[in-house]
Amino acid sequence: MGEGQRRGGLDRRATFPFLYLPPLLWLGFFFIVPLILMLAFSFRADMKGDLFAAFMPTLKQYASLFATGSYWRLLGISASMAFGVACAAVVLSYPIAYFLAFRAGDRAGFYLVLLLVPFWTSYLLRVMAWKIMLGTEGVINSFLIYVGLIQEPLGALLYSRTAVIITLIYVWIPFATLPILAALQRITPDLFEAAADLGAPPLRQFTRIALPLSMPGILAAFFMVFIPTIGEYVTPLLVGGSRGSMYGNIIQDFFTKAANWPFGSAMSMVMLAATLILVAVATRLIKFRDLLQ
């Protein structure tokens, strides 16, 4: 090995810390430290005294949480809603990703920009748009009355868990499309040509080539939607009302209205633990590749 090669290797190793230390420090300060603080708050008995003063750790908040069944039922409902939203978002985004990867051709970039256009607008504006559409005088009710399917506006469309699910599916479809698209773009088109030469019909090509090879993207899209949705509170607050509340709304109330940070922190830690357990179990037990072979 020449002197120049050794010097180049040393230079790369010397500069590597400058590349990973800034994002590592950023992640630690704005993500890990807040989690540690929230975990510490969950062991406080109350909010008396200074926030960062020494206190006697207690399991009072967790005991109260485990003794209240309504919180656990709401966590289960939120997990079920998040699972349904994630499944629907993946199913609806897969055809979009497939079209962009294999059918759009030279116009794929243009269509991808159109897919990302909602990102250019505020999240709140997109949610409020669905609030207008689902209202008693909104687009959906007006259309159903116009075609004669209903005589009076459907009040159940807005301020319900149905409205929350519909809105969240719409919000997450562009996000779910991207990892699936990335997985599909790694599939070599020659595989489809070889399968066609061997007599495989299009459906057989899809189930034996595209779907198994894109499964990592599907799993990534599912968890990317499921994990943040289970703690969602903005969308239920705007379009769900009291009938569409999720677990995250109760946490928000304890941090804001009730000013009970210890109990809100305990609820957050329980939700985080439940989410991590569900993700760990799913990734270890669900063998999608084995099921499709």
Give me the chain's average pLDDT, please: 86
- The CATH label, of 3.40.50.2300, 1.10.3720.10, 1.10.630.10, 2.60.260.20, for the domain at 70-292 is 1.10.3720.10
- Inter-residue contact 189 to 159 (CB < 8 Å): no
Alpha-carbon dihedral angle through residues 90, 92, 97, 98, given to the nearest 10 degrees:
110
Q: What is the pTM of this model?
A: 0.84
pLDDT at position 291 over 60: no
Burial of 140 (0-12, 13-18, 19+ CB in 10 A): middle
Burial of 231 (0-12, 13-18, 19+ CB in 10 A): buried
Sign of CA dihedral 18, 21, 27, 29: negative
261 Cβ neighbours under 8 A, 6+ residues apart: 41, 44, 47, 254, 255
Task: Identify which has the larger pLDDT, 138 or 249.
Answer: 249
What integer pLDDT is reported at residue 61 of this predicted model?
93
Which helix or strand (DSSP H or E) is residue 273 part of?
helix 261-285
**Rounded Cα–Cα distance for residues 70 and 75 (Å):** 9
> pLDDT of 167-188, one tens digit each?
999 999 999 999 999 999 999 8
**Rounded Cα–Cα distance for residues 179 and 217 (Å):** 5
> pLDDT of 255-289, one tens digit each?
998 889 999 999 999 999 988 888 887 777 655 44
Percent of the chain residues past pLDDT 70, beyond the cut: 92
Question: How is residue 43 annotated by DSSP?
Answer: T
- Inter-residue contact 236 to 246 (CB < 8 Å): yes
**Rounded Cα–Cα distance for residues 115 and 181 (Å):** 12
pLDDT at position 13 over 80: no
What integer pLDDT is reported at residue 170 of this predicted model?
93
- Residue holding tokens 């003063």? 53
Average pLDDT for residues 34-47, to the nearest whole number? 90
What integer pLDDT is reported at residue 287 of this predicted model?
55
Closest CA to 279 of 228, 208, 235, 240: 228
